[in-house]
Amino acid sequence: MRKLTENILTDLAKPWHVQVHSTRALAGAVADAAAKDNKLRRAEGRDVPRRKTGLTAIPASDTGLSFRVTPWEVLHALGRALVLGRQGAGRGLAEHWGSLKYCQALEGSSGQYMSLSPEGLNPRRHYKTVQSSELGKGFALVLAERLVRKQYPGHAVSVIDADIALQAGWALVGKDVQDRDGVRLRPDFLLEAWKPGEPSKIVPVACRGTHGKTPYVHTQLAGAAAQVEAFHVGPWDKTPSLIISSEVLGQGGVIINALQARGDSALHVEPGDPTADADTELRDENIYPEVQLPPEKGEDKPHRGNGFQVLPEHYAWFRRAAARAGAAGIMAFTGGGNPTAQYLTKRQGREYFEGFVHSGTGIVQDAEQVIRGTRFLGTDHVFRLNGTRVEAFSGVAEELFLLLAEGKVEQYRRKAHALRAKWLSDRGARDWDGPVSLREDGSVMAMRLL
């Protein structure tokens, strides 16, 4: 059993190719699926959603036909995505450990492409939807981060739960919702490309996953186009967007289907504007959920539609909201309760995290590890993998952790950006016997035999 577990840990750290499919034919098929859905909705008397216009194939120079990634990196991306979702009973302390259930779900095929393992191919029927959805998020975010990083060289990229960021300005659930139809559609994530001294750029992402046949991908992407259309920075239809659907049962391995819309979503803020300072506590705003649309045919005046629009007068506020939501996600990944809560508003779920103090902010750390030459503070999880005890650790580099624990987001960003090259140079260190994934936000996820 121990040897089997060792082999699993070794396989988690092996890079495999993941196929990327983004063509004009895919864009055309998605447009046809959207038109078919619109026709059906009209026949049934249902509302027809707005969908993102200008969706095109991503240039092969940006994606290639495939890219290499380890299963462990995919699980790290998924863990970071789940950490503020409040979907389980972890009470904000260990939501991300849900990604570990996929430790044996992915493997490499003889053709060097990543695919589902026999274990991944045999989930219970009701579980397949959850598996494809969650793994779809992991693969989508790995690709989306690479694309945004290439589009904005020299920038760090933060993955932000869209619900968390938007809740600070718009009520999405509960009795405070002003217009339920207006907030129903929204992206899954916002990617923030940031660099100290430059405006942040926001890219909404909608991602799906499927075990089904390829035509279902077109339907999924047509739905995702409505999700990203609901969010705009500045004028209508100028915001870059990504829609992604991952086929986890694709022939020859995992296939990521993706389309993009180009644009400019920079949050231009006056230097020294105190309302943009991410160190300042955020309070819930009450912005009405609407988007300013151009005049319809035959009309002179613009009209309004459902959705979320960050107008120039809110750029500074949203820059602060995005940065603090990102900080909350990082601290939650370390297992911290109150250190996470300090970055959230009441609507964002501050009370959910309050009262669970991470001992790393006191005298004794909850868990600490030296990995690849860097000391990390965080939390660990011990469980049995095929009967053998293993230890999983998630944390943040100590110097970055202490800054965020003290509420110093701006200083954290300057330090984290300066350390981006260090994470790459430290990859050769051999002080951890197991899979390791280190992200440029300073977070790490690692596992080894106990």
pLDDT of residue 120: 84
**246 membership: H or E segment, kind and range:** strand 241-247
pLDDT of residue 421: 80
Judged by phi (left if over 0) then psi (alpha if -120 to 50, else beta), residue 355 lies in left
- Sign of the dihedral through C-alpha 331, 332, 336, 340: positive
Q: How far apart are CA 221 and CA 209, in angstroms?
A: 10
The Cα-based distances of 396 to 75, 335, 426, 449 in angstroms read 16, 10, 15, 21
pLDDT of residue 446: 94
Task: Determine how β-strand 106-108 pairs with β-strand 114-116.
Answer: antiparallel
Judged by phi (left if over 0) then psi (alpha if -120 to 50, else beta), residue 434 lies in left
Residues forming a β-bridge with 438: 444
| Torsion on CA atoms 429, 333, 103, 141, rounded to nearest 10 | -90
Judged by phi (left if over 0) then psi (alpha if -120 to 50, else beta), residue 86 lies in left
63 CA to centre of own chain: 18
Q: How far apart are CA 293 and CA 333, in angstroms?
A: 38
Mean pLDDT, each 10-residue run in order, the chain (450 residues):
85 93 96 96 94 94 90 94 65 70 84 84 74 92 96 94 94 75 89 95 96 88 97 96 90 88 95 92 91 81 88 96 95 86 90 62 62 89 89 94 96 94 64 88 92
pLDDT of residue 177: 73
Residue ranges of alpha helices (H) inside 19-174 are 24-43, 60-63, 71-82, 128-151, 162-167
Q: Is 176 exposed, middle or buried (0-12, 13-18, 19+ CB in 10 A)?
A: exposed
pLDDT of residue 422: 76
Structure tokens at 102: 């996929």
Residue ranges of alpha helices (H) inside 365-440 are 398-405, 409-418, 420-425
Q: What φ, ψ does residue 414 adopt, rounded to 5°?
A: -60, -45
**88 membership: H or E segment, kind and range:** none
Beta strand extents in 155-237 (DSSP E only): 156-161, 189-194, 200-210, 231-233
Q: How far apart are CA 223 and CA 37, in angstroms?
A: 9
